[in-house]
Amino acid sequence: MTGSEALPSFRLGYVPGVTPAKWVRIWQERLPDIPLELVQLPAADAPGALRRGELDAGFVRLPIDRTDLSAIPLYTETTVVVIPKDHAVAAVDEVAAGELADEVVFHPLDDTLDWEHPPGRAAIERPATTADAIELVAAGVGLLFVPQSLARLHHRKDLTYRPVTGVPQSRVALSWPEEATTDRVEDFIGIVRGRTVNSTRGRQQEKKPTAREKAKAKEQRKRAGTPARPKGDRRGKPSKRR
């Protein structure tokens, strides 16, 4: 490869709240010649970007439409309620969703939690984004349920959050186009799954032959006239009779 030739970059998408820094660092250590381009995009837009080939892979929030997409669930986040610091719930370590049934709860249009019936009393209008809902919580007119990482992302000095039980939780997954599982995607899957450079499960490691493959090779040698090793001698020499 000449100095003017550059390998194509690996485009990795990620949704708000996901921090891909540790995986990016490992990629840069193992594949320094292949630039990794990070693309942040709204959770609702990630599946479409993957299908259109705008990303090689991406961190998404489940559930998503899995048509034409592969996905490896990575971890599940705690769901929290975002509240003003002077709210009564701020005095406890954890709260059950049923205890907030009389509260106004915002359900933004970009909500990623898989609600069957959102708890609390629904606000008159749904905020367009989680950031908009955070502003309304700060104004003291309602509460908001989000994955913990989003509560941290939208941290404000006048707000806090507490874990909530009895509500859906957000699962983060690595996803990529099903028909585009390239070597680079396999490399990144290995990194995310914690494989080492010398792992026998790595893409570049030679696979050990299966029992069927061994039997097939033996049959091929037999047909070609290659003598088989005599039994009882690992070095390939006939065993001596006593």
CATH code assigned to 79-165: 3.40.190.10
Average pLDDT over residues 150-157: 96
Structure confidence by residue, pLDDT tens digits, 2-41: 444 556 899 999 999 999 999 999 999 999 999 999 999 9
CA 138, CA 156: separation in Å to the nearest integer?
A: 8
Average pLDDT over residues 33-52: 95
* Percent of the chain residues topping a pLDDT of 70: 79
Is-same-fold flag (10-76+171-192; 79-165)?
Answer: yes
pLDDT value at residue 67? 87
> What CATH superfamily is the domain 10-76+171-192?
Periplasmic binding protein-like II (3.40.190.10)
Average pLDDT over residues 46-69: 94
* Percent of the chain residues topping a pLDDT of 90: 70
- Return the HEC string of 78-97: CEEEEEECCCHHHHCCCEEH
Structure confidence by residue, pLDDT tens digits, 172-222: 999 999 988 899 999 999 999 988 776 634 454 444 455 665 666 667 666
What does pLDDT average to over the chain?
A: 86
CA 30, CA 26: separation in Å to the nearest integer?
A: 6
pLDDT value at residue 77? 97
**DSSP structural state of residue 3:** T
Q: Give the residue extent of every domain in the chain.
A: 10-76+171-192, 79-165
Query: Does the pLDDT at position 147 exceed 70?
Result: yes
Chain centroid, CA 146 distance in Å: 18
